[in-house]
Structure 1
Amino acid sequence: MTQTLLDRLGRLDACCISDAADQLGLPPAVTGIGWQSVRRRIAGRVTTVTLAPGTPPNGSHRHLCTSAIERAGPGDIVVVEQRTGVDAAGWGGILSNAAQMRGLAGVIVEGPARDIDEAAELGFPVYSRSTTCRTARGRIFEIASGEPVTVGDTLVSDGDYVVADSSGVVFVPTARIEELLAAAERISAREAAMTEAVRAGEPVGQVMGARYENMLSETEAAQ
């Protein structure tokens, strides 16, 4: 069942998912986070990591994000909250290699990431708020893995669903994924029909009139 949901999710872009989220009153898309390494849409289940400034108080030598990679499954996406304000990478090259070897779909960092050229050479998708050369060592550390994180203004839980592409990032709560997919597929089908009409010569003003503007209304959602 989960794989079927993921297959359906992977066929939809972030804009369509965002429109469906708007229609259902779910948190809006997160903007300002973009692909850094390879231009590839990613879709999957979330594995969360939370980072904090400073060094581990107990002297732990476990590197940030390693536990998330080890517990994630193929197709999962690591989501890292690095909102410390410290210019230090919440993700790097060895992590990209490890994640790729385990079959992860990509990583999304609310904050900086580094070793972007290495990730690009690997073909591993890194989405982040920004990039930096500065190491995490001595600057930031992991305080939680598997706990809720905040990306943009959205609270994201471990196991939620996410789609990211060049337009933005959209998170979907687990409990609402089937409802959202049904709405997104209706929207996608209607937009595809409108695109076909435009390419067939129908005036764009006519196509993008009431049919488009009212697409997300309750009346249109029920059809």
Structure 2
Amino acid sequence: MPDEYIRLLSGFSACDVADGLQNVYGLSDGGYFPNLSERSCKNGKSVVGRAYTVLFAPASDPRPAVNYIDAIPEGSVVTLAYTPELQTTMAPYTYVNNAIFGGLMAGRAQFQGASGTVVFGRVRDVDEFESLHYPVYSYGLGATASKGVVKPVAVGVPLDIVTCAAVPQEPAAGEGAGSCHQRRRTTMRIESGDYIVCDAHGMVRIPTANVDMEKLISYIKSSIEADQLVARDIARGEPAEASKKRYRSALSK
């Protein structure tokens, strides 16, 4: 059965969804996962689907490798990530230089009806992604396959993505106000089945278990309408802040 929420979310940008998650559910990160780059796109449209999660671990991991590529559910976003010890908060955000997704896998995923792929690591065969018109997002690019280095060990499991934030700290003696920052290591989780929305801005995840989809989508629609009215006022030369207050104050949360 077609997923109606996928159809509705396809009309929104990643920014629209992030605004909704921030304003309705108080998520300061808006569900946005940083540092991903668009390697191929879907004609400028948003890529939307349910997360089909795949966990990669070192080749030495005692768990056997799993075949994830031949069981992709239709309408899913294939989401690949490493175990935390293979992740880093600094670019290139993983210690693995090998690619874990390429052209052949993209072709197979597309045949099964996947909406796209997100890789918290490296990919290769970008020209094949483009020729297939298959959307792919990743941290980086690689040229070497993953054989003997890492392997997929689990499907449909939570993925913990290591990232960081620059957190303002109280300045030390002799430092100017606001000059002291500390990088804080944080972890963001993607659950199997979460809704994923990607576009040129990157990826936003909707934590499905904690979100009323009807409420979120209704807010996003109202927010877009309000922004259109603000944009109209700005084009007429009216003050932006007054216009935002006029239209955004009416949004229901």
Structure 1 portions without partners, runs of 5+? none
Residues 65 and 152 in structure 2, CA contact (< 8 A), matched pair in contact too: no
In the TM superposition, residue 70 of structure 1 has moved relative to its aligned partner by: 3.2
Q: Runs of 4 or more off by more than 4 Å in structure 1? A: 213-216
Residue-by-residue CA offset, 1:173-213 (whole Å, 9 max, x unaligned): 12313332222112111112222333xx4226x1x204437
Name the structure with the higher helix share.
1
Task: Name the structure 1 match of 2:214.
Answer: 178
Aligned letter for 1:36? Answer: R
Residue 143 (1) aligns with residue 177 (2): no
* Greater alpha carbon shift after TM alignment, 10-19 vs 142-151: 142-151
Distance 1:164 1:5 in 2: 15
Residues 49 and 79 in structure 1, CA contact (< 8 A), matched pair in contact too: yes
In the TM superposition, residue 114 of structure 1 has moved relative to its aligned partner by: 1.1
Q: 2:241 aligned to 189, 209, 221, which one?
A: 209
Task: Name the structure 2 match of 1:47.
Answer: 52
Q: 2:33 aligns to what SS in structure 1?
A: coil
How well do the aligned residues superpose, as a CA RMSD in angstroms?
2.4
**TM-score, normalized by length of structure 1?**
0.84
Residue 38 (1) aligns with residue 41 (2): yes
Name the structure with the higher strand share.
2
Task: Name the structure 1 match of 2:99.
Answer: 89
Structure 2 portions without partners, runs of 5+? 87-94, 164-186
Residues 219 and 252 in structure 2, CA contact (< 8 A), matched pair in contact too: no
Residue-by-residue CA offset, 1:23-76 (whole Å, 9 max, x unaligned): 122353112212112354201111001111224536x565xxx42x43332221
**TM-score, normalized by length of structure 2?**
0.75
Distance 1:194 1:70 in 2: 47
Aligned letter for 2:41? Answer: V
**Largest Rg, 1 or 2:** 2
